[in-house]
Amino acid sequence: MFFLKKLRYFLNRFDLVQDNVHFLEDASKYVMVLSRLLLHFVNLWPMNFTKVRKVFFYATMGIAMGHHFTIFSYTCRNVRSIDNLTEILPAMSLMIELLSKTFVLYGKRDQLKDIIKIVWNDFWPSNTFGKELEEKISTNTKDILIPIILQMAVGSIYSTICIFLPFVATPSFVYHAWYPPGWDRSLFQTILNILRSYLMTYVINSMVCAYDLLYTALCINCISQYLQLSYALKFIGTRKELEVILKIQGKDNKNPSIIQNDEGRVMKLLIICAKHHQMLIRFGNELNTIFGSGHFLQLVATLIGICTTSYNISQKTGHMVVMLSCGYYLAYFWQLYVYCASSNSLSVWSTYVSDAAFDSEWHASNTRDIRKCLSIIMIRSQRPVIMNAFGLFQLNYESLLTVMRFSFSLYTFLRKIAA
């Protein structure tokens, strides 16, 4: 890709992420490099969390907490109707989303280090089995990556609108917030607008997008491994097992001639595939452990955001309120779609291992142990790797529809209360 070539030139030119820059040539691992760059930008890359970065992170989060405290104070002091509440809740849902995702990135950085190292070191390169499979992996990667790139682009545009809108449309704040008396004067108001612009672009938009991109990148690479594992299993019984073993192990397989007979080569390939399958299952479980709480609070924030913005779009008459509500609605829906799309793809591809094992030439082997091993792999792979939200909700397209239906139910409930 032209973009990746230019990016690699840029990173080499300024001596950035040189330990991982070669992964830009991989059809799936290059997404991890993009995620690393964005996480570096927000000082949350778990592999290099220095003391200076910690201080900067704490200062930034302190400013964000102070800002959201003013919104919460305004809510307690002034909200007396559904109309007032629906104007505040989208900003409050952003606070929930921001705090949950920064907690995952900072509080679980040691676990993130471990799974990122697995992706770098233990996952097979995308070109292991040739150009055709590499193209398939590349296409699948783009299908999952494009939605989140669109999310980041739209989020940046929306943040820019929120920055400049108070200066050109109205002297009031975009968000309702409480400040001490006298802070509505021009000088203080300008300072607060600048501060809030920093929060909107750097803290909220960048940190949320960094979290989303990291999760998507990990899902993409796990899917890539399931594709390659399925491809490798199809060679069982074809007498090409040694060729596949050499491709997987590469230079590490220093004495491939030690396996003289066909049955031994089949068993060797089966052992490699079984261990890789076990690693991928553990990897999926670890993803749930790390990101489960963030997914759950994301669903809560999405429910709040969609139902309140739907109410504002249908009931409010102010152009700025309607425009901001439309932006919120699209952002929350698209975020949820990105999560469900990547998680659903991972679940689907994890079950293809069973089909690949059955499609192999297992019937050409007379060894019972080989058939037993294949049977175990098939049985286990029929249970998909499911991404969930705190163990309560599965992340897939069905969940997307469920959340949208429930959000509409909450919207109608708000309308009945307000009537």
Residue 78's domain spans which residues? 2-418
Residue 72: strand, helix, or coil: helix
**Residue of 240, 270, 249, 266 whose CA lies nearest to 125:** 249
Under DSSP, the state recorded for 404 is: H
Do you know the residue count of the chain?
419
> In the chain, how many domains are there?
1
First to last CA, the chain: 55
Cα dihedral angle (297, 302, 305, 311), rounded to 10 degrees? -140
Helices 262-315, 368-381: inter-axial angle, 10-degree rounding: 0
Residue 136: strand, helix, or coil: helix
Q: How far is CA 160 from CA 74, 93, 288, 335, in A?
A: 24, 20, 33, 19
* Predicted confidence pLDDT, tens digits, the chain (419 residues): 678 888 988 898 888 888 899 999 999 999 999 999 999 888 889 887 778 888 888 887 887 777 777 777 777 777 778 887 887 888 788 888 888 898 899 899 999 999 999 999 999 999 999 999 999 999 999 999 999 999 888 877 777 776 666 555 544 444 555 555 555 555 666 666 666 666 666 677 888 899 999 999 999 999 999 999 999 999 998 889 989 999 998 744 555 545 557 788 899 999 999 999 999 999 999 999 999 999 999 999 999 989 998 998 888 877 777 877 888 888 889 999 999 999 999 999 999 999 999 999 888 777 788 888 899 999 999 999 999 998 888 999 999 999 999 999 999 998 888 87
Cα dihedral angle (65, 71, 77, 83), rounded to 10 degrees? -150
The residues, ordered by sequence, that sit 6+ positions from 123 with a Cβ below 8 Å of its Cβ are 29, 221, 224, 225
Residue 54 backbone class (left: φ over 0; alpha: ψ -120 to 50; beta: rest): alpha
CA distance 122 to 368: 30
Q: DSSP states of 375-402 as a string?
A: HHHHHHHTS----EETTTEE-SHHHHHH
Q: How far is CA 97 from CA 154, 209, 246, in A?
A: 18, 11, 46
Write phi, then psi, for 68 (nearest 5 degrees).
-70, -25
Q: Which residues pair with 394 in a beta bridge?
A: 388
